[in-house]
Amino acid sequence: MTETEFIHRFEPATSAGSPPLLLLHGTGGDENDLLGLGKMISPGSALLSPRGRVLEHGMPRFFRRLAEGVFDEDDVRHRANELGEFVNAARQRYGIAAPVAVGFSNGANIAAALLLLKPDVLAGAILLRAMVPLSDPPTADLAGKPVLLLSGQGDPIVPASNSAKLAALLSQAGASVTHRVLPAGHQLSQADLTLARDWIGNVDAKAA
Protein backbone atom coordinates (compact mmCIF):
# COMPACT_ATOMS: atom_id res chain seq x y z
CA MET A 1 0.00 0.00 0.00
CA THR A 2 1.44 3.36 -0.99
CA GLU A 3 1.85 6.30 1.39
CA THR A 4 -1.38 7.91 0.19
CA GLU A 5 -3.44 4.73 -0.28
CA PHE A 6 -6.24 3.81 2.10
CA ILE A 7 -8.24 0.61 2.27
CA HIS A 8 -11.52 1.90 0.92
CA ARG A 9 -14.81 1.25 -0.81
CA PHE A 10 -15.98 3.14 -3.87
CA GLU A 11 -19.50 3.00 -5.26
CA PRO A 12 -20.11 4.88 -8.52
CA ALA A 13 -22.89 7.43 -8.86
CA THR A 14 -26.26 6.25 -10.08
CA SER A 15 -27.55 9.81 -10.57
CA ALA A 16 -25.55 12.36 -12.56
CA GLY A 17 -26.79 15.32 -10.51
CA SER A 18 -25.83 14.10 -7.03
CA PRO A 19 -22.60 15.32 -5.40
CA PRO A 20 -20.00 12.66 -4.50
CA LEU A 21 -19.69 11.93 -0.79
CA LEU A 22 -16.53 11.23 1.22
CA LEU A 23 -17.67 9.00 4.10
CA LEU A 24 -15.52 9.17 7.24
CA HIS A 25 -16.35 6.71 10.03
CA GLY A 26 -16.03 7.09 13.80
CA THR A 27 -13.62 5.26 16.12
CA GLY A 28 -13.79 1.51 15.60
CA GLY A 29 -15.63 1.79 12.30
CA ASP A 30 -14.42 0.88 8.84
CA GLU A 31 -14.99 1.56 5.16
CA ASN A 32 -18.40 -0.16 5.24
CA ASP A 33 -19.87 1.71 8.21
CA LEU A 34 -21.39 4.78 6.58
CA LEU A 35 -22.32 3.42 3.14
CA GLY A 36 -25.96 2.99 4.19
CA LEU A 37 -26.04 6.48 5.71
CA GLY A 38 -24.56 7.96 2.53
CA LYS A 39 -27.23 6.28 0.39
CA MET A 40 -29.99 7.59 2.67
CA ILE A 41 -28.63 11.14 2.78
CA SER A 42 -27.99 11.47 -0.94
CA PRO A 43 -29.42 8.65 -3.08
CA GLY A 44 -27.52 8.37 -6.33
CA SER A 45 -24.26 9.95 -5.12
CA ALA A 46 -20.87 8.37 -5.74
CA LEU A 47 -19.54 7.13 -2.38
CA LEU A 48 -15.85 7.14 -1.42
CA SER A 49 -15.34 5.53 1.98
CA PRO A 50 -11.78 5.07 3.36
CA ARG A 51 -10.77 3.22 6.51
CA GLY A 52 -8.75 5.21 9.05
CA ARG A 53 -5.09 4.18 9.15
CA VAL A 54 -4.45 4.67 12.87
CA LEU A 55 -5.25 1.87 15.34
CA GLU A 56 -6.28 2.55 18.94
CA HIS A 57 -6.54 -0.75 20.86
CA GLY A 58 -7.20 -2.40 17.50
CA MET A 59 -9.90 0.10 16.48
CA PRO A 60 -9.41 2.13 13.29
CA ARG A 61 -9.29 5.92 13.61
CA PHE A 62 -8.21 8.77 11.35
CA PHE A 63 -5.65 10.24 13.79
CA ARG A 64 -4.10 9.57 17.19
CA ARG A 65 -5.39 11.03 20.43
CA LEU A 66 -3.65 11.36 23.78
CA ALA A 67 -6.88 10.95 25.79
CA GLU A 68 -10.60 11.32 25.08
CA GLY A 69 -11.04 14.81 23.65
CA VAL A 70 -7.27 15.45 23.62
CA PHE A 71 -5.81 15.14 20.13
CA ASP A 72 -2.25 14.55 18.95
CA GLU A 73 -2.33 17.68 16.82
CA ASP A 74 0.88 16.91 14.91
CA ASP A 75 -0.74 13.65 13.87
CA VAL A 76 -4.00 15.45 13.01
CA ARG A 77 -2.07 17.64 10.58
CA HIS A 78 -0.11 14.73 9.10
CA ARG A 79 -3.18 12.53 8.67
CA ALA A 80 -5.33 15.31 7.21
CA ASN A 81 -2.69 15.97 4.56
CA GLU A 82 -2.43 12.22 3.87
CA LEU A 83 -6.22 11.94 3.52
CA GLY A 84 -6.31 14.98 1.23
CA GLU A 85 -3.75 13.37 -1.07
CA PHE A 86 -5.79 10.16 -1.11
CA VAL A 87 -8.98 12.05 -2.03
CA ASN A 88 -7.25 13.93 -4.85
CA ALA A 89 -5.80 10.66 -6.22
CA ALA A 90 -9.20 8.96 -5.93
CA ARG A 91 -10.87 11.81 -7.79
CA GLN A 92 -8.56 11.19 -10.75
CA ARG A 93 -8.88 7.42 -10.50
CA TYR A 94 -12.68 7.39 -10.34
CA GLY A 95 -13.43 10.59 -12.27
CA ILE A 96 -15.41 12.37 -9.55
CA ALA A 97 -15.76 16.01 -8.53
CA ALA A 98 -14.62 17.37 -5.17
CA PRO A 99 -16.73 15.49 -2.61
CA VAL A 100 -18.87 16.63 0.29
CA ALA A 101 -17.47 14.99 3.43
CA VAL A 102 -19.90 13.16 5.71
CA GLY A 103 -18.05 12.47 8.94
CA PHE A 104 -19.16 11.05 12.27
CA SER A 105 -17.24 11.69 15.52
CA ASN A 106 -13.55 10.98 14.73
CA GLY A 107 -14.42 11.11 11.03
CA ALA A 108 -16.11 14.50 11.50
CA ASN A 109 -13.02 15.79 13.30
CA ILE A 110 -10.67 14.78 10.47
CA ALA A 111 -13.13 16.35 7.99
CA ALA A 112 -13.01 19.61 9.97
CA ALA A 113 -9.20 19.43 9.94
CA LEU A 114 -9.28 18.83 6.18
CA LEU A 115 -11.43 21.94 5.69
CA LEU A 116 -8.92 24.04 7.65
CA LEU A 117 -5.70 22.54 6.28
CA LYS A 118 -6.60 21.61 2.67
CA PRO A 119 -9.80 23.56 1.89
CA ASP A 120 -9.70 22.82 -1.85
CA VAL A 121 -10.13 19.07 -1.28
CA LEU A 122 -13.78 19.26 -0.20
CA ALA A 123 -16.84 20.89 -1.76
CA GLY A 124 -18.46 21.06 1.69
CA ALA A 125 -19.05 18.93 4.76
CA ILE A 126 -21.65 17.37 7.02
CA LEU A 127 -20.01 17.20 10.45
CA LEU A 128 -21.82 14.88 12.86
CA ARG A 129 -20.71 15.33 16.52
CA ALA A 130 -17.52 17.20 15.58
CA MET A 131 -15.02 19.01 17.82
CA VAL A 132 -12.41 21.69 17.14
CA PRO A 133 -9.56 19.58 15.70
CA LEU A 134 -6.68 22.07 16.12
CA SER A 135 -6.02 24.54 18.92
CA ASP A 136 -4.07 26.82 16.56
CA PRO A 137 -5.56 26.30 13.10
CA PRO A 138 -4.16 27.99 10.01
CA THR A 139 -6.07 30.78 8.31
CA ALA A 140 -8.21 29.01 5.73
CA ASP A 141 -10.25 30.47 2.88
CA LEU A 142 -13.58 28.66 2.98
CA ALA A 143 -15.50 31.40 1.14
CA GLY A 144 -19.07 30.21 0.65
CA LYS A 145 -18.25 26.55 1.31
CA PRO A 146 -21.38 24.90 2.77
CA VAL A 147 -21.01 23.14 6.13
CA LEU A 148 -23.70 21.45 8.23
CA LEU A 149 -22.70 20.90 11.86
CA LEU A 150 -25.03 18.70 13.90
CA SER A 151 -24.38 18.47 17.64
CA GLY A 152 -26.07 16.53 20.43
CA GLN A 153 -27.44 18.49 23.37
CA GLY A 154 -26.66 15.62 25.74
CA ASP A 155 -23.36 14.58 24.10
CA PRO A 156 -21.00 13.40 26.88
CA ILE A 157 -17.97 13.59 24.57
CA VAL A 158 -18.37 16.94 22.80
CA PRO A 159 -19.09 19.94 25.08
CA ALA A 160 -21.60 22.42 23.65
CA SER A 161 -19.01 25.20 23.94
CA ASN A 162 -16.61 23.21 21.74
CA SER A 163 -19.04 22.63 18.89
CA ALA A 164 -20.10 26.28 19.05
CA LYS A 165 -16.43 27.28 18.82
CA LEU A 166 -16.00 25.06 15.74
CA ALA A 167 -19.04 26.66 14.08
CA ALA A 168 -17.59 30.13 14.78
CA LEU A 169 -14.14 29.10 13.52
CA LEU A 170 -15.48 27.81 10.21
CA SER A 171 -17.77 30.83 9.80
CA GLN A 172 -14.86 33.21 10.39
CA ALA A 173 -12.98 31.39 7.61
CA GLY A 174 -15.89 32.23 5.27
CA ALA A 175 -17.81 28.96 5.27
CA SER A 176 -21.60 29.03 5.06
CA VAL A 177 -22.28 27.19 8.33
CA THR A 178 -25.59 25.76 9.52
CA HIS A 179 -25.25 24.61 13.15
CA ARG A 180 -28.07 22.70 14.80
CA VAL A 181 -28.06 21.33 18.36
CA LEU A 182 -30.35 18.30 18.57
CA PRO A 183 -32.01 16.63 21.57
CA ALA A 184 -29.60 13.70 21.29
CA GLY A 185 -26.36 12.30 22.72
CA HIS A 186 -23.25 11.28 20.80
CA GLN A 187 -25.06 8.67 18.73
CA LEU A 188 -26.95 9.67 15.61
CA SER A 189 -30.72 10.10 15.55
CA GLN A 190 -33.42 10.18 12.89
CA ALA A 191 -33.25 13.98 13.08
CA ASP A 192 -29.60 13.86 11.94
CA LEU A 193 -30.56 11.86 8.89
CA THR A 194 -33.51 14.09 8.01
CA LEU A 195 -31.57 17.35 8.43
CA ALA A 196 -28.57 16.03 6.49
CA ARG A 197 -30.77 14.83 3.61
CA ASP A 198 -32.64 18.14 3.40
CA TRP A 199 -29.44 20.16 3.66
CA ILE A 200 -27.59 18.30 0.91
CA GLY A 201 -30.69 18.52 -1.27
CA ASN A 202 -30.58 22.31 -0.95
CA VAL A 203 -26.83 22.43 -1.60
CA ASP A 204 -27.31 20.20 -4.64
CA ALA A 205 -30.11 22.43 -5.98
CA LYS A 206 -27.99 25.58 -5.58
CA ALA A 207 -25.03 23.92 -7.34
CA ALA A 208 -27.27 22.91 -10.22
Active-site residue set:
105, 155, 186
Burial of 189 (0-12, 13-18, 19+ CB in 10 A): middle
What is the pLDDT, as a whole number, of residue 16? 84
Residue 207 located in a structural domain: no
Q: What is the pLDDT of residues 155-203, one digit of tens each?
A: 999 999 999 999 999 999 999 999 999 999 999 999 999 999 999 998 8
Cα–Cα distance, 122 to 130 (Å, whole number): 16
pTM of the model: 0.96
Q: What is the pLDDT of residues 18-43, one digit of tens each?
A: 999 999 999 999 999 999 999 999 99
Range of the domain at 41: 8-198
The CATH number that applies at residue 61 is 3.40.50.1820
Residue 81 located in a structural domain: yes
